[in-house]
């Protein structure tokens, strides 16, 4: 007697092709989910399927795979919902009906199970599937996991082959050209910041530079697939010509966890957190000539170089097409010591609540509020005349802002994003360094292949200082 093997659920993954219009990254994520399913990592597989759906990939086959995986995790209501969607596809209908019978039987709904087994037997072209459906219909098992599920438990060798860790490496680079790399003023001026107040004729120095971003991550999955432990290294640098002092480099080591806090396909919660250590290199140079700043024999070029440590936590909750969440960031920065200048050591506290709505699988809108605080240990504030006094309290800046953005995905390989933001800074002493910053940005990201990404962005920032003066001298007008 031929016996139907429910592994046809896996065979279907290879037999039925996804729609040609499906997006490449979504299809790749579904393929990863299939591999995880075969390795019996069902929670991890379900997560990949849901990521494929969030990326805009939609097909009856994806619903079918989610339904089968949810059944394995004993999420019977979710399995029924997804398999009923898959049943609308004529090619998947017999398999979907049989699995619907299994899900209803496991949930203790015998009458519903009988109806779906009967439909599976009626619509099945495969004799083994029809026979299995007739057998199930003839002798419905008591509520619980059916015999077929027991029969398809993976062999021990399959469990031993299941991989639990992944190494990810991403390298991004490009080419840049800056016609005024030192940010020199465009007109001659008197340098009132210098004791001798010399006349300065600035020279704009052009330079090519190479931006480099590297991310290396090792991701360790737990056995249930609902938690990833992440160990990572990040490099973000701009490298200029060797004779210039404009290189800026940030390196970060981090470790953390990505937790999937349960939920269903249309209701998900996730918490990502990590602890990090950062080393930032940035030289303090004179915009008039590009040379390192200093007075007599004292160099200040290390003034903006620091070591930092902190924690981040990002929470998101998806409910249908809505998503809300918040990002938090706590950081302590210790700057390299330089002579004659108060150290720049500071602490940063950030909170960013946000809400987003997906109009469709390809377009979403977001709103975010930004609030963060910067507290210096020693660096003094300026009074309303721009004067630094040792009796002034340390800097205390508070930032508040709002952001609106929209994202549109096109053709499966192109994503467009536009956003506007207004950010206000409040100087906690007397308000001398208050400002309002208006930011507008657009970005395009392309995926010409599975392993390659190209991006193009443009950002405009406009600062308005209502109280500060040029060179901190009231006689020279507003900054």
Residue-wise pLDDT for 60-84, tens only, equals: 899 999 999 999 888 888 899 999 9
Residue 53's closest CA among 99, 90, 85? 85
Question: Domains of the chain, with CATH numbers?
Answer: 8-161 (1.25.40.10), 166-476 (2.40.160)
Is there a contact between 248 and 279 (Cβ–Cβ < 8 Å)?
Answer: no
Cβ atoms within 10 Å, residue 266: 14
Question: Looking at residue 356, what is its pLDDT?
Answer: 95
Looking at residue 124, its pLDDT comes to 78
pLDDT at 223: 67
Q: Which two tokens stand for residue 242?
A: 């060797």
d(Cα 286, Cα 198) in Å, to the nearest integer?
A: 14
DSSP, res 469: B
Distance CA 189, CA 198 (A): 9
- φ, ψ of residue 308 in degrees (nearest 5): -135, 160
Q: What is the pLDDT of residue 262?
A: 66
The predicted structure's pLDDT at residue 244: 61
Residue ranges, the chain, pLDDT below 50: 1-23, 141-162
Question: What DSSP line would sit under 38-92, residue for residue?
Answer: HTT-HHHHHHHHHHHHHTT---HHHHHHHHHHHHHTT-HHHHHHHHHHHHTSTTT
> Which class for 175: exposed (0-12), middle (13-18), buried (19 or more C-beta within 10 A)?
exposed
Cα distances (angstroms) measured from residue 434 to each of 209, 377, 430, 459, 467: 33, 19, 9, 22, 7
pTM: predicted TM-score of the whole model, two decimal places: 0.62
Residue pair 271/313 in contact (Cβ under 8 Å)? The answer is: yes
CA–CA dist 204, 107 (Å, integer)? 74
SS3 220: strand
Quote the Cα angle for 304-421-309, to 5°.
35
CA distance readout (Å), 348 to 15, 28, 334, 362, 397: 54, 39, 12, 35, 10
CB 419 within 8 A of CB 440: yes
pLDDT for the residue numbered 208: 83
Max Cα–Cα distance, the chain, nearest Å: 102
């Amino acid at each position: 007697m031929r016996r139907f093997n429910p592994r046809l659920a896996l065979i279907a993954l290879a037999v039925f092709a996804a729609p040609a219009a499906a997006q490449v990254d979504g299809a790749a994520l579904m393929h990863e989910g299939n591999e995880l399913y075969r390795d019996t990592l069902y929670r991890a597989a379900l997560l990949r399927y849901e990521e494929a759906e969030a990326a805009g990939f939609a097909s009856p086959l994806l619903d079918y795979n989610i339904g089968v995986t949810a059944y394995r995790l004993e999420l019977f209501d979710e399995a029924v919902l997804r398999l009923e969607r898959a049943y609308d596809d004529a090619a998947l209908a017999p398999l979907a009906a049989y699995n619907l019978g299994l899900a209803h039987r496991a949930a203790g709904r015998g009458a519903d199970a009988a109806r779906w087994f009967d439909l599976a037997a009626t619509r099945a072209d495969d004799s083994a599937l029809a026979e299995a459906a007739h057998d199930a219909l003839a002798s419905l098992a008591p509520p619980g996991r059916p015999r077929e599920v027991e029969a398809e438990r993976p062999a021990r060798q399959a469990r031993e082959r299941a991989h639990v860790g992944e190494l990810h490496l991403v390298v991004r680079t490009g080419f840049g050209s800056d016609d005024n790399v030192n940010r020199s003023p465009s007109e001659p001026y008197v340098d009132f910041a210098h004791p001798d107040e010399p006349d300065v004729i600035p020279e704009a120095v052009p330079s090519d530079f190479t931006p480099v971003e590297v991310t290396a991550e090792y991701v360790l999955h737990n056995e249930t697939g609902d938690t990833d432990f992440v160990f990572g290294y990040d490099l973000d640098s701009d490298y200029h010509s060797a004779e210039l002092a404009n290189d800026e480099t940030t390196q970060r080591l981090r470790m953390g966890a990505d937790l999937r806090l349960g939920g269903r396909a249309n209701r998900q919660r996730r918490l990502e957190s990590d602890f990090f250590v950062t080393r930032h290199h940035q030289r303090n140079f004179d915009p008039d000539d590009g040379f390192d700043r200093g007075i007599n024999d004292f160099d200040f070029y290390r003034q903006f170089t620091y070591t930092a440590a902190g924690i981040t936590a990002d929470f998101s909750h998806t409910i249908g097409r809505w998503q809300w969440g918040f990002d938090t960031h706590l950081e302590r920065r210790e700057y390299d010591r330089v002579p004659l200048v108060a150290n720049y050591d500071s602490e940063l506290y950030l909170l960013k609540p946000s809400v987003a709505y997906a109009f469709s699988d390809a377009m979403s809108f977001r709103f975010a509020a930004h609030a963060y605080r910067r507290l210096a240990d020693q660096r003094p504030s300026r009074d309303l005349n721009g004067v630094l006094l040792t009796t002034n309290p340390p800097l205390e800046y508070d930032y508040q802002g709002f952001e609106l953005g929209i994202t549109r995905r096109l053709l499966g390989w192109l994503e467009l994003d536009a956003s506007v933001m207004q950010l206000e800074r409040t100087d906690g002493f007397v308000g001398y360094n208050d400002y309002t910053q208006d930011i507008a940005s657009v970005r395009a990201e392309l995926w010409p292949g599975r392993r390659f990404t190209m991006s193009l962005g443009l950002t405009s920032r406009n600062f308005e200082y209502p109280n500060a003066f040029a060179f901190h001298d009231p006689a020279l007008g507003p900054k």
